[in-house]
Amino acid sequence: MRLLFPVMVLVVTAVIIAAIIVLMKPSMHNASLTYVDNLRHLLINGTFTAIYSNNYVSFSTGGASSQVSQCNETTLYSIGSINGTRAILLIIKNSCLPPNTIPISTQEIAYWVNGTSMCNVARLVLDNHSIKGETQCLPHASNELIKSVTPFREFLGNVTITLTTEGCNINYTMITHIHYVNATEWHGQKVYCFQVISESIYSNLCNTTETTFSPMVIQKYHTEKYTCLLPNGLPAITIFNNTIIMEFPQTSTTTHIDAHGTSELISYEPNYFNATAFNELLK
C-alpha cells in the first residue's frame, strides 16, 4: 500500500505531461505555418539576396554513358522588382570531382516579367570560356511561369499553368506536400523544420518552324527535402534528394539525374536586390 501514492503521483505526472504535449503541438504547428507564410511573402512580394553553400553527390545517365560527381556549389539568389515587375537573379559557381565532369563552372541567369511575357538571359563559363546567350521571351501571357523558376518554389503550394500560343504548348504543374516535423535551433536562432515532397513537370513543346523559342523539352522533378526555416521564412539548412528526368522528343533522348546533399545559408541581405549584377547581365 505504501507504493500506491508514488505510483499515483507518477500516473498523474504522466497525464499532465501528455496533456501539455497535446496542447503545445497545435501551438507549435500554428507558429510553424507563420514561417511558411513569411517565405511565401518573400518569394511573391519581397526583396532579398541570399547565398547558400551546397554540397551534393550527383548521379547522371544519358544514352549509354553515366557519371558520378561530388560537387561543392555556391548559389546566390536575388529576388526583387524591376520597373514594377518581378525579377530573379541566379548565380551558381561549382567545383566538382572528378574534374570536368560538369564543365560549366559558373552560371548567371536572369529572369524577369516584361509586360505579360517571362524573359530570361544566361551567361555560362564553359571550359574557362564565357558564353552569353541571347535574351529569350516566352509568348504572350507567360508571365505566370515566373513561379516555375522561383527559388524554393515548392513552398508556393500547388500550381498549374497551361499556355498555348504562338506555336508553343507550355505546361507547368507542381504538387507539393508540406508536413511539420520539429523545432530546433540553428546558430542560436529558432527554426521550424518540415518534410517537403514535391512532384513537378515542365514541358515546352514548340513548333520550331513557326517560332524561335526554347527547343522541345519535358522536365520531370521529384524532390524530397527536410528543410528548416528561419523566422523571416528563408531556409536555413536543407537535406535534399532530387530526381530530374529530361526528355527531348525531337531526338528521342533522355537524361536522368539523381542528386543527394545539403544546402546551408551563409549570408542574407534583406530588402536588397542586386540590380547592378542583374542589369550587367542584360547588357
Residue 121 CB coordination number (10 Å): 19
Q: How far is the CA of 244 from the CAs of 58, 209, 219, 226, 253, in angstroms?
A: 11, 28, 7, 18, 14
The C-alpha cell that represents 67 in the structure block: 557519371
Give me the tens of pLDDT residue by residue for the chain, a chain 283 residues long. Answer: 444 444 444 444 444 434 433 444 454 556 678 999 999 999 999 999 999 999 999 998 887 678 899 999 999 999 999 888 899 999 999 888 886 666 678 999 999 999 888 999 999 987 778 889 889 888 777 888 899 999 999 999 999 998 887 677 889 999 999 999 999 999 999 999 999 999 999 988 776 554 444 557 889 999 999 999 999 999 999 999 999 999 987 777 899 999 999 999 999 999 999 999 999 999 8
Domain that holds residue 181: 4-282
* pTM of the full structure: 0.84
Let me know: does 145 contact 161? Beta carbons within 8 Å.
yes
**Residue 250: burial class (beta carbons within 10 Å; 0-12, 13-18, 19+):** exposed
Task: Indicate the number of domains in the chain.
Answer: 1
DSSP per-residue string spanning 216-256: PEEEEEEEEEEEEE-TTS-EEEEEEEEEEEEEETTTTEEEE
